[in-house]
Amino acid sequence: MRKTLTLCAVSVLILGAAVACSMGRHDVHALSEFSASYEHFDNTVSEETLNDLQVKAAMKISSITKNDGAMMKVAQQVADLAASEVSLGKASQLENGREARVELNTRLTALQLERKAAYAHFQRLLAAPPNSD
C-alpha cells in the first residue's frame, strides 16, 4: 500500500513537472514570436505586419512566467499604438494640405516614439524580477 502511494505521488510530481515545462516552452515561444513580429513591423510598417503583430500581441502567457500580466498588457499596448500609427500614416499620405500633412507627420513621429518606448518597457519586463510592473 505504501509503495502504491509513493508511486502515485511520484507520478503526480512527474506529470506536474511535465505540464509546467510544457507551459514554460509555450510562453517562451509566444514571447519570441511577439518580439520577432514587432521587429518585423518596426522594419516594415504595413497592414500585413500590423495584422501579424496584433495576432502575436494577443498571446496568453502562463503565470509561471514572471511579469506575465504586465507583459501581456504592454504587448497589447504596443499593438494598439502600431495600429494608430498605421492609420495616421495612411491619413498623412492622403492629406493634400502642406500644413495638415506636417501636423500629421509630427503626430506620427510622436506615436512612433511612444510605440518604441512601450516595446522597450516590454523588453525590461522580460529581464526584470517578478512583479516589477
Give tens-digit pLDDT for 29-71. 999 999 999 999 999 999 999 999 999 999 999 888 888 899 9
Residue in the block written with cell 499604438: 81
Radius of gyration of the chain (CA): 21
Distances from the Cα of 48 to the Cα of 26, 66, 118, 127, angstroms: 24, 30, 21, 29
Give tens-digit pLDDT for 33-44. 999 999 999 999
Q: What is the pTM of this model?
A: 0.80
Eight-state DSSP code of residue 96: -
Yes or no: say if 62 and 24 are a contact pair by the CB < 8 Å rule. Answer: yes
